[in-house]
Amino acid sequence: MLPPPDDYAELVLDTVATIPEGRVASYGAVAAAVREVTGRGSARVVGRVMARYGSEVCWWRVVTASGALAERVAGEQRARLRAEDVPFTRDRVDMRRAAWQPSPPGL
DNA sequence: ACTATGACCAGCG
DNA sequence: ACGCTGGCCATAG
Protein backbone atom coordinates (compact mmCIF):
# COMPACT_ATOMS: atom_id res chain seq x y z
CA MET A 1 0.00 0.00 0.00
CA LEU A 2 0.99 3.57 -0.60
CA PRO A 3 2.03 5.50 2.50
CA PRO A 4 -0.53 8.18 3.39
CA PRO A 5 0.24 11.72 2.16
CA ASP A 6 2.27 13.85 4.57
CA ASP A 7 1.26 17.41 5.47
CA TYR A 8 2.97 18.93 2.46
CA ALA A 9 1.33 16.50 0.05
CA GLU A 10 -2.01 17.07 1.76
CA LEU A 11 -1.72 20.80 1.17
CA VAL A 12 -0.87 20.22 -2.49
CA LEU A 13 -3.95 18.04 -2.90
CA ASP A 14 -6.19 20.55 -1.14
CA THR A 15 -4.87 23.28 -3.41
CA VAL A 16 -5.46 21.22 -6.54
CA ALA A 17 -8.98 20.53 -5.32
CA THR A 18 -9.74 24.26 -5.53
CA ILE A 19 -9.11 24.49 -9.28
CA PRO A 20 -12.50 25.23 -10.86
CA GLU A 21 -14.01 23.04 -13.55
CA GLY A 22 -12.99 24.24 -17.01
CA ARG A 23 -9.73 25.78 -15.76
CA VAL A 24 -6.21 24.44 -15.19
CA ALA A 25 -3.21 25.34 -13.03
CA SER A 26 0.46 24.66 -13.73
CA TYR A 27 2.66 22.63 -11.41
CA GLY A 28 4.62 25.79 -10.74
CA ALA A 29 1.49 27.78 -9.87
CA VAL A 30 0.40 25.13 -7.39
CA ALA A 31 3.91 25.06 -5.94
CA ALA A 32 3.87 28.85 -5.54
CA ALA A 33 0.57 28.78 -3.67
CA VAL A 34 1.79 26.05 -1.33
CA ARG A 35 5.06 27.90 -0.84
CA GLU A 36 3.14 30.88 0.56
CA VAL A 37 2.18 28.71 3.51
CA THR A 38 5.00 26.20 3.94
CA GLY A 39 7.92 28.17 2.50
CA ARG A 40 9.07 24.97 0.82
CA GLY A 41 8.51 22.99 -2.32
CA SER A 42 8.89 23.41 -6.06
CA ALA A 43 7.18 22.46 -9.28
CA ARG A 44 9.11 19.18 -9.32
CA VAL A 45 7.92 18.24 -5.86
CA VAL A 46 4.33 19.00 -6.83
CA GLY A 47 4.80 16.75 -9.85
CA ARG A 48 5.89 13.91 -7.62
CA VAL A 49 2.97 14.39 -5.27
CA MET A 50 0.63 14.24 -8.27
CA ALA A 51 2.31 11.09 -9.57
CA ARG A 52 1.64 9.35 -6.27
CA TYR A 53 -1.59 10.78 -4.96
CA GLY A 54 -3.08 12.54 -7.95
CA SER A 55 -5.91 10.04 -8.25
CA GLU A 56 -7.38 11.41 -5.03
CA VAL A 57 -8.25 14.77 -6.64
CA CYS A 58 -8.95 16.43 -10.01
CA TRP A 59 -5.41 15.62 -11.25
CA TRP A 60 -6.30 16.33 -14.89
CA ARG A 61 -6.53 20.08 -14.15
CA VAL A 62 -2.78 20.25 -13.46
CA VAL A 63 -0.60 20.77 -16.54
CA THR A 64 2.87 22.13 -17.32
CA ALA A 65 3.46 25.88 -17.60
CA SER A 66 3.35 25.60 -21.40
CA GLY A 67 0.04 23.74 -21.38
CA ALA A 68 1.49 20.29 -22.15
CA LEU A 69 -0.21 17.30 -20.53
CA ALA A 70 1.34 14.68 -18.25
CA GLU A 71 2.96 12.12 -20.60
CA ARG A 72 1.94 9.09 -18.61
CA VAL A 73 -1.79 9.86 -18.67
CA ALA A 74 -2.13 12.22 -21.62
CA GLY A 75 -4.97 10.29 -23.23
CA GLU A 76 -7.37 10.37 -20.33
CA GLN A 77 -6.26 13.84 -19.33
CA ARG A 78 -7.09 15.23 -22.75
CA ALA A 79 -10.48 13.53 -22.72
CA ARG A 80 -11.37 14.87 -19.29
CA LEU A 81 -10.26 18.41 -20.11
CA ARG A 82 -12.10 18.45 -23.41
CA ALA A 83 -15.20 17.26 -21.57
CA GLU A 84 -14.95 20.42 -19.45
CA ASP A 85 -14.53 22.59 -22.56
CA VAL A 86 -10.99 23.59 -21.69
CA PRO A 87 -9.58 25.40 -24.76
CA PHE A 88 -6.82 23.58 -26.66
CA THR A 89 -4.30 24.58 -29.30
CA ARG A 90 -3.33 21.31 -30.99
CA ASP A 91 -2.20 19.00 -28.16
CA ARG A 92 -1.78 21.68 -25.55
CA VAL A 93 -4.07 23.62 -23.28
CA ASP A 94 -4.42 27.27 -24.30
CA MET A 95 -2.91 28.66 -21.10
CA ARG A 96 -3.69 32.24 -22.03
CA ARG A 97 -7.37 31.44 -21.65
CA ALA A 98 -7.49 28.50 -19.25
CA ALA A 99 -4.73 29.14 -16.69
CA TRP A 100 -6.00 29.73 -13.19
CA GLN A 101 -3.96 31.04 -10.25
CA PRO A 102 -4.56 28.96 -7.13
CA SER A 103 -4.36 30.36 -3.60
CA PRO A 104 -3.53 28.27 -0.57
CA PRO A 105 -6.78 26.72 0.78
CA GLY A 106 -6.53 28.51 4.11
CA LEU A 107 -5.93 32.04 2.87
C1' DA B 1 28.62 11.92 0.37
C1' DC B 2 27.92 11.34 -4.18
C1' DT B 3 25.09 10.22 -8.68
C1' DA B 4 20.90 9.64 -11.17
C1' DT B 5 16.25 10.31 -12.00
C1' DG B 6 11.73 12.62 -12.15
C1' DA B 7 3.52 14.26 -14.06
C1' DC B 8 8.88 20.96 -13.60
C1' DC B 9 10.48 25.94 -15.01
C1' DA B 10 12.56 30.29 -16.96
C1' DG B 11 15.99 32.19 -19.77
C1' DC B 12 18.53 32.31 -23.92
C1' DG B 13 19.91 31.03 -28.53
C1' DA C 1 9.01 26.30 -31.80
C1' DC C 2 12.67 23.41 -30.41
C1' DG C 3 16.70 22.43 -27.61
C1' DC C 4 20.17 23.41 -23.95
C1' DT C 5 21.43 25.01 -19.36
C1' DG C 6 21.05 25.69 -14.67
C1' DG C 7 17.91 25.69 -11.00
C1' DC C 8 14.69 23.19 -8.29
C1' DC C 9 14.14 19.28 -4.33
C1' DA C 10 12.84 14.62 -2.70
C1' DT C 11 14.10 9.56 -3.16
C1' DA C 12 16.70 5.62 -4.33
C1' DG C 13 21.11 3.11 -4.89
Instruction: Give domain status of residue A104, yes or no.
Output: no
Number of domains in chain A: 1
Identify the domain containing residue A67 by its residue range: 7-97
What is the nearest nucleotide to A71, using C1' and CA? Answer: B7
- At A73, which CATH number? 1.10.10.10
Residue A107 maps to a domain: no
- Tell me the pLDDT of chain A (107 aa) as tens digits: 788 889 999 999 999 999 999 999 999 999 999 999 999 999 999 999 999 999 999 999 999 999 999 999 999 999 999 999 999 999 999 999 999 999 998 87
Provide the pLDDT for residue A3.
84
Q: What is the DSSP letter of A106?
A: T
What confidence score (pLDDT) does residue A106 get?
A: 81
H or E stretch at A44: helix A43-53
| A31-70 residues near strand C (Cβ < 7 Å) | 40-45, 48
Note whether residue A29 is domain-resident: yes
> Distance (Å) from CA A102 to C1' C3?
30
Residue A1 lies in a domain: no
pLDDT, residue A56, reads 96
